[in-house]
Amino acid sequence: MVRKKIISKITGAPTLFTAVALIMVSSCATSMSPIKLYNTLPNFTKSRFIPQSQVESSINRGCKYLVKRREYTAPIGLTIKGDLKNGAKGIDEWVELDGGNAYVLTNYNWRTVDDLGSTQLQVEFDTMLCP
């Protein structure tokens, strides 16, 4: 009876390992669609997000560019959400350092950084000051 319990515990371990590995791999997606990114990233920033389609109207309401073509490579997160949070933190820091309160996302890219397929988020944006 004791031998049967030990054997069942040993045979259950590979199944548990396989399940955990599958969850880890499936949560490590390496990119995101543009719509999903544009709908998600602003939720992680404190700075005001201005879509490119609203830049002209924002300028007409008194916003002005501070720095154009700013680039930031975010630290690698464990998930896409982690990448986005790290990217948002970098955007907020640059907006603050530039003396602004808003940003326009102009481009983004997940770059492959090693032979294992690990990716790192790079964002390109303009910082702005809006009333």
Neighbour count for residue 26 (Cβ, 10 Å): 8
Task: Based on DSSP, count helices (H) and strands (E) in the chain, helices before strands.
Answer: 4, 4
Model confidence band, residue 20 (pLDDT cutoffs 50, 70, 90): very low
Phi, psi (deg, nearest 5) at residue 65:
-70, 140
pTM value > 0.85? no
User: Minimum mean pLDDT among 49-53, 55-59, 95-99, 118-122: which range?
Assistant: 118-122
Which pLDDT tens digit goes with each residue over 33-51?
999 999 999 999 999 999 9
Residue-range domain boundaries for the chain: 30-129
Buried b or exposed e, range 57-81, using 16+ CB within 10 angstroms: ebeeeebeebbeebebebeebeebe
Q: The domain 30-129 belongs to what CATH superfamily?
A: Hypothetical protein apc22750. Chain B (3.30.110.70)
pLDDT band with cut points at 50, 70 and 90 for residue 30: low
